[in-house]
């Protein structure tokens, strides 16, 4: 999931600052979003991600800096004249109109004939899988269907940028996952730049070409999903994206390309200098690694790289996966690891002695 750098820039934030009275909501946002990209703004509630999205739409002014869309400054452009359309968290379907009146709402000033507009509406409804729903009352639709109407209503205007404000948060899990897939497909089909706001890290990882992780009005890291997951820029990002184990460590030696640390239970680990991220201010160094980078070794299996003795301290069975908490010999810190449940593989009990395989290549040093 890499994204080519040659694509032209669609949205540019230049040192965007936003104050609500004394509250500093956006603290110097500088970033670019490329044309045709599926871009996500990810962060906990109150981090400024929705505010940033609304500055693109024009619903929110900025205190200083600049927002450019397709090279043009948006400073003097009101929301109704911007080349963006938005899918709202509440969908904002007009309850007094039918489905097709909703979808065709933005075509009111379109010079095309009524028949052509009707054709465009039907096409848009077909695109989101709502063919034949045109005459229905909008308020009689289910959540997922409203979502689709909101999408069709925004996409029919062929905007340069489609803004999505937590569009899936109100849907239940099954429909949400289905809509995620459909949105990805739709985005590839229409080639429009999508900017998604979400607090759900999994959703962001699944859907995006690139993600900006935001905390307290700042972008903590802007990267593709794999980089975010494999090499988070700092401990806060690491904790927000997925699950990560952390073990306190002491730095023993520092060579040109390698940093040797002594981590509780693992002993000496030589970590590549490229795998170093920032610890939280005031914290000592620690090594971090994802649950799937630790593997339980069953009888007869040997590690390809390193192995350590451990004891199972917690078992959580998920059907396809089992999550174990293990404690390494000589350490009291439970480490989370995940194992795929393949046929014939036993699920271990709490207290069972076991061995875990690990590799220094999958570890990140936070210092």
Interface with other proteins (CB under 8 A), residue from 8, 95, 267, 330: 95
Stretch binding other proteins (CB under 8 A), from 29-37, 92-100, 111-119, 286-294 = 92-100
**Helix (H, G, I), strand (E, B), or coil: what is residue 248?**
strand
The sign of the CA dihedral 30, 35, 37, 41 is: positive
Placement of tokens 């936003």 in the chain: 18
Least CB distance to other proteins at residue 258 (A): 53
Name residues whose C-beta falls within 8 Å of residue 350's C-beta, 6 or more positions apart in sequence. 312, 313, 314, 315
CA 82 – CA 56 distance, rounded (Å): 9
Report the nearest approach of other proteins to the CB of residue 97 (Å): 9
What residues are paired with 14 via a beta bridge?
66
Contact call for residue 140 and other proteins (CB under 8 A): yes
Q: Name residues contacting other proteins, limited to 164-203 (CB under 8 A).
A: none
Q: Does the protein bind other proteins through residue 57 (CB under 8 A)?
A: yes
Our finding on whether 59 is near other proteins (CB under 8 A) is yes
Ramachandran bin of 253, using left for φ above 0, alpha for ψ from -120 to 50, beta for the remaining angles: beta
Least distance from C-beta 162 to other proteins, angstroms? 11
How far apart are alpha carbons 100 and 204 in whole angstroms?
Answer: 31
Which of residues 92, 223, 233, 303 is near other proteins by CB under 8 A?
92
Instruction: State the minimum distance, in angstroms, from the CB of residue 130 to other proteins.
Output: 17
If binding is defined by CB under 8 A, does position 79 make contact with other proteins? Answer: yes
Phi, psi dihedral angles at 150 (to 5 degrees): -60, -40
Is residue 19 a contact point for other proteins (CB under 8 A)?
A: no
Q: Is 139 in the site for other proteins (CB under 8 A)?
A: yes
Q: What is the CA radius of gyration of the chain?
A: 24
Of 108 and 174, nearer to other proteins (C-beta) is: 108
Q: Which of 21, 22, 96, 344 touches other proteins by CB under 8 A?
A: 96
Per the document, the length of the chain is 367
How far is CA 52 from its chain centroid? 15
Tell whether residue 108 is a contact of other proteins (CB under 8 A).
yes
Q: Does 49 bind other proteins (CB under 8 A)?
A: no
- For other proteins, give the closer residue by CB, 72 or 139: 139
d(CA 164, CA 129) in angstroms, rounded, equals: 19
Please report where in the chains the tokens 């003097």 appear, as a residue: 76
Smallest distance, other proteins to C-beta of residue 183, A: 18
Q: Which residue from 141, 158, 140, 151 is spatially nearest to 179, judged by alpha carbons?
A: 151
From the list 105-113, 210-218, 255-263, 345-353, the region that binds other proteins by CB under 8 A is: 105-113
Q: Find the part of the chain contacting other proteins (CB under 8 A) among 1-9, 63-71, 82-90, 174-182.
A: 82-90
Pick the piece of the chain touching other proteins (CB under 8 A) from 11-19, 80-88, 120-128, 261-269: 80-88
Q: Are strands 353-358 and 306-317 parallel, antiparallel or unpaired?
A: antiparallel
CB atoms within 10 A of CB 291: 18
Binding flag, residue 20, other proteins (CB under 8 A) = no
d(C-alpha 314, C-alpha 37), whole Å? 41
Binding site for other proteins (CB under 8 A): 57-59, 78-81, 84-86, 88-90, 92, 94-96, 105-106, 108-109, 137, 139-140, 153-154, 157
């Amino acid at each position: 999931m890499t994204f080519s750098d040659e694509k032209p820039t669609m949205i540019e934030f230049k040192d965007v600052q936003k104050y609500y009275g004394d509250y500093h909501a956006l603290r110097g946002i500088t970033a670019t979003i490329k044309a045709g990209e599926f871009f996500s703004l990810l962060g906990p509630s109150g981090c400024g991600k929705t505010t940033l999205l609304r500055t693109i739409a024009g619903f929110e002014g900025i205190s200083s800096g600049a927002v450019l869309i397709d090279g043009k400054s948006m400073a003097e452009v009101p929301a109704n004249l911007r080349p963006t359309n938005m899918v709202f968290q509440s969908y904002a379907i007009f309850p007094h109109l039918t489905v097709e009146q909703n979808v065709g709402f933005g075509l009111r000033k379109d010079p095309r004939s009524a028949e052509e507009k009707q054709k465009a509406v039907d096409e848009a409804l077909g695109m989101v899988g709502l063919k034949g729903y045109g005459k229905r009352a909008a308020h009689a639709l289910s959540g997922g269907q409203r979502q689709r109407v909101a999408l069709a209503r925004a996409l029919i205007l062929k905007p340069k940028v489609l803004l999505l404000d937590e569009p899936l948060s109100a849907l239940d899990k099954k429909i949400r996952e289905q809509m995620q897939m459909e949105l990805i497909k739709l985005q590839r089909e229409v080639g429009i730049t999508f900017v998604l706001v979400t607090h759900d890290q999994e959703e962001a990882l699944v859907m995006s070409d690139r993600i900006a992780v935001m905390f307290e009005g700042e972008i903590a890291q802007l990267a593709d999903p794999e980089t975010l997951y494999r090499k988070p820029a700092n401990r806060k990002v690491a904790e927000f994206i997925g699950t990560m184990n952390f073990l306190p460590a002491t730095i023993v030696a520092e060579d040109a390309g390698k940093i040797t640390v002594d981590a509780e239970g693992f002993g000496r680990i030589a970590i590549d200098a490229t795998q170093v991220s920032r610890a939280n201010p005031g914290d000592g160094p620690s090594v971090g690694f994802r649950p799937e980078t630790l593997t339980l070794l069953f009888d007869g299996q040997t590690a390809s790289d390193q192995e350590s003795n451990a004891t199972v301290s917690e078992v959580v069975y998920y059907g396809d996966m089992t999550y174990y908490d293990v404690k390494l010999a000589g350490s009291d810190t439970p480490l989370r690891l995940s194992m795929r449940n393949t046929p014939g593989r036993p699920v271990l009990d709490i207290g069972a002695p076991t061995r875990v395989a690990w590799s220094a290549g999958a570890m990140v040093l936070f210092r």
